[in-house]
Structure formats: structure tokens, C-alpha cells
Structure 1
Amino acid sequence: MTAEAPLVPALPYGRLIPVTVHFDDLDALGLLHNARYPLMAERAWAELWREHGITFDGDWAAAGDACHAVRELRVSYEAPVTRPGAYAVHLWLERLGTTGLTYGFRLCSADGTETYAHGTRVLVRLDAHTLRPAPWSERFRVAGRALLRSRD
């Protein structure tokens, strides 16, 4: 007899990326530290973009679309994460512009049904030499369009 994997509900947009909350992510009260929520989202995005061959290894000149800066971060906390274990981050794009984007995220239960926090982050793609806004590559734009919440 084998155990069946739990069914993950189909998401109407975006992707659900598994993440792990470790014991040392919890604060002195045993709650996921507030700074860890956006960190979980960042790790999930890194995993998602790695699937598309977009990675950062410390070389800004070679980073391409991974050369970007955060312009804004907003997080709302809905319910505390009280134990280590398997969770997920639901990721999507709200807006994909020429040099910037806004992505949405939700730290949630592994099956995506319970939300612990949600937020948005605005990124600006940078030229590695001038640190001025630069356009996203077409490869990045193709991958990003598939994540748009609304494709109108």
C-alpha cells in the first residue's frame, strides 16, 4: 500500500512553490519571525526563476534579469505560523512593465488553502554597469506573462 499525495487545488493564476520553515526561523515566542515571511517569498521566487534558467551567482555583469532592486515591499500578516514544516508560497505577477514589475505572494499551507501572510514587492530591472533601469529580456517577459494574475 502506498500513500497518495494530497491533492493541491488548481490555482486560477500563478504558481505554488513548496518552502520549508525551519525551527531557527521561529522567534522566542515560537512564531515565524516577521522578517522571514518575505524571505520565504524571495526563496520561492529564486526557485521559480531557476526553473527558467535565471540565476544569480554573484556576478552582476552576467546576472541579466537577476540584476534588479526592490523599490517597495508590503506585507500583511493574517495568521501566525507556529511550527516548522512544509508550507508553500503562492507567487504571481500583478504587473509586468518594461523595466519594472509588481509581484504578489502568499505564504500559505502546503496545499495552498490557508493563508498566513500576503503581500507585494515592486522590482526594477537594473543595468549592471550604470545601475539605471533597464528593460527585461524577452525570455524573462515570456516566463513572466505566464504568471500574470490578469492577462487582459
Structure 2
Amino acid sequence: MSAPAPYTAESLPFGDLVPVTVHFDDLDALGMLHNSRFPLLVERAWGDYWHGHGFGFTGDWATAGDMANVIKEMRVSYEAPITRPGTYAAHLWVEKLGRTSLTYGFRVCSADGGTTYAQGHRILVRVDAQTLRPTPWTDEARAIARKLARPEALPDAS
């Protein structure tokens, strides 16, 4: 039996593969990617994904819009160690899109998506920058988030 073909951004069944880099100084004393670096890689990939779609933070929370969000929950399951610096990927997808919240799944994986090193989910809540209270996602952010929806997920709970 032959090995499955590597994924590309075009061949993923859902979501998107975002390149991430592991540096030598990300490794711990045992030569493995330190557990705290996995969430950091996912955070950077998520930021790169949204920045690539025109969303960004310029230092002014009053105009940050959908970028003003907080983490309600994060779960990570570590599957295999990363033992070398280099280029890897974060596979990102949306599990649930609510009025003010968004749950996304992720895998930290090989650059081709074929090997999973860690996986989990994270729940974001969009907040008003002045009151820090939950506020609805914009239509633009909702449309972009729907592009990442896992087919069996219900991408809109509004």
C-alpha cells in the first residue's frame, strides 16, 4: 500500500494549511519543540491567515474591529514530538461560527499536512474594544470564516 499523497492548500478536504517555522531555540533541553510553542505556532498561523485576508491590528484598539477578540478556551493534544527546526504547517478550520464566538480546530503538522504533531481547538469571542463585552462579528469576517468551515460543522449559529 502506498503512502497517501501530501496535501496542498488546494487538496485539503477543508480548512487551510498555513506555513509555520520552528526555530532551533524553540526546542527544549530534550531537543523537542517545547509544549508552549505549539499554541504559539497556531496563534501566529491564525494571525497570518487573517492578515492575508485584510485584517490586522495597527495599534489602535478603537479601530481593531474583528481583531479585538479574546480566548475563552484552548485545548491541545500532543501526538508526536517535533525534533528539528524547519518549516511545518498549521491546518486551521472553523468548527462553529456563532454570533459573537468562533470555535476553530487546528493541527500542527508537517508542511504537507501528512503528519500530525498536535491538534486541538480554540474558542474566540469578539469583544467591543471600549466595553470589553461580546459583540457580533462583521459580515466580512463571517464570510471569511465560512471559507474555513469543516463540511460537517454548522458554520453559522446565529
Contact 2:102 2:124 in 1 (8 A): yes
- Aligned counterparts of 1:87 and 1:134: Cα–Cα separation in 2: 34
Match of 1:147 in 2: 148
User: How much identity, in percent, do the aligned residues show?
Assistant: 61
CA RMSD of aligned residues (A): 1.3
Match of 2:112 in 1: 111
Contact 2:6 2:114 in 1 (8 A): no
Letter of the structure 2 residue corresponding to residue 45 of structure 1: W
TM-score (norm 1): 0.93
Note the C-alpha offset of 1:16: 0.3
Note the C-alpha offset of 1:130: 0.4
Gaps of 5+ in 1: 1-5
Match of 2:26 in 1: 25
Contact 2:6 2:113 in 1 (8 A): no
1:67 is the counterpart of 2:72 = no
- Aligned counterparts of 2:93 and 2:64: Cα–Cα separation in 1: 22
Note the C-alpha offset of 1:7: 5.6
Match of 2:121 in 1: 120
SS at structure 1 position matched to 2:134: coil
Letter of the structure 1 residue corresponding to residue 57 of structure 2: F
5 Å-filtered alignment, 1:3-152, equals 8-9=7-8, 10-150=11-151
Contact 2:91 2:108 in 1 (8 A): yes
Letter of the structure 1 residue corresponding to residue 102 of structure 2: L
- Aligned counterparts of 1:106 and 1:122: Cα–Cα separation in 2: 15
Measured against aligned partners, the alpha-carbon deviations of 1:54-104 in whole angstroms (never above 9, x if no partner) come to: 111222111100000000000000000001001001000000110001001
- Aligned counterparts of 1:65 and 1:74: Cα–Cα separation in 2: 22
Letter of the structure 2 residue corresponding to residue 99 of structure 1: T
**Larger deviation: 54-63 or 109-118?**
54-63
Deviation above 6 Å: which 4+ runs of structure 1?
Answer: none
Q: Give the number of equivalent residue pairs.
A: 147
Gaps of 5+ in 2: none
SS at structure 2 position matched to 1:106: strand
